[in-house]
């Protein structure tokens, strides 16, 4: 049996991009985008604060089962341990007129991998014990970063 998105029949297939969706400003540039423009995504304190508030404490994410969390951690681990993973492809706003996803326009990442390292640190903090108790061997932060 495949893992499903909450309350649906849709298979739960995730990529590292799943950790970005909360900051999508498409069609909300003047509201959500203007708010997020106040933050520097290269500043760990600011980024962590945003991730904690809007991702890890989001109602949908709080409802994830341990199996959902394990799947999300797996894709994050795979990306962070792949020396050739193209993080910038996920974080650079492209000029595709048909793209309906956009990070805040002022967010320029000095090191693309950094965002996902911070996500892993927080995922370990918030989900680590639960994931370990479920029998998944989650690597320590120091072994991934």
Q: Is the pLDDT of residue 96 over 60?
A: no
Q: What is the pTM of this model?
A: 0.90
| Domain assignment present for 95 | yes
Number of folded domains that form the chain? 1
Residue 8 lies in a domain: no
Domain that holds residue 55: 16-143
Q: Tell me, yes or no, whether 72 lies in a domain.
A: yes
**Cβ atoms < 10 Å from Cβ of 61:** 19
Task: Please write the tens of the pLDDT for every residue from 40-74.
Answer: 999 999 999 999 999 999 888 899 999 999 999 99
57 found inside a domain: yes
Whether residue 108 is contained in a domain is answered as yes
State the CB neighbour count (10 A cutoff) for residue 25: 21
* Interatomic CA distance for residues 44 and 50, integer angstroms: 10
Residue 107 lies in a domain: yes
The answer to whether residue 5 sits within a structural domain is no
Give the HSE-up count for residue 123: Cα atoms under 13 Å, Cβ half-sphere. 30
pLDDT band at 97 (very low <50, low <70, confident <90, very high): low
Percent of the chain with pLDDT over 70: 93
Say if CB 44 and CB 84 are below 8 A apart. Answer: no
């Amino acid at each position: 049996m495949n893992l499903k998105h909450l309350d649906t029949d849709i298979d739960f297939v995730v990529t590292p991009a799943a950790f970005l969706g909360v900051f999508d400003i498409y069609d909300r540039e003047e509201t959500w985008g203007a708010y997020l423009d106040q933050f520097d995504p290269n500043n760990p304190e600011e980024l962590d604060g945003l991730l904690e508030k809007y991702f890890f404490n989001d109602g949908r994410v709080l409802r994830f089962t341990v199996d959902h969390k394990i799947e999300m951690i797996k894709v994050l681990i795979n990306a962070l341990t792949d020396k050739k993973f193209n993080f910038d492809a996920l974080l650079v706003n492209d000029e595709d007129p048909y793209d309906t996803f956009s990070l805040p326009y002022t967010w320029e990442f000095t090191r693309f991998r950094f965002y996902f390292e911070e996500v892993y640190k927080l995922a370990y903090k918030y989900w680590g014990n639960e994931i370990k108790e479920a029998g998944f061997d989650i690597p320590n932060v120091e072994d991934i970063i």
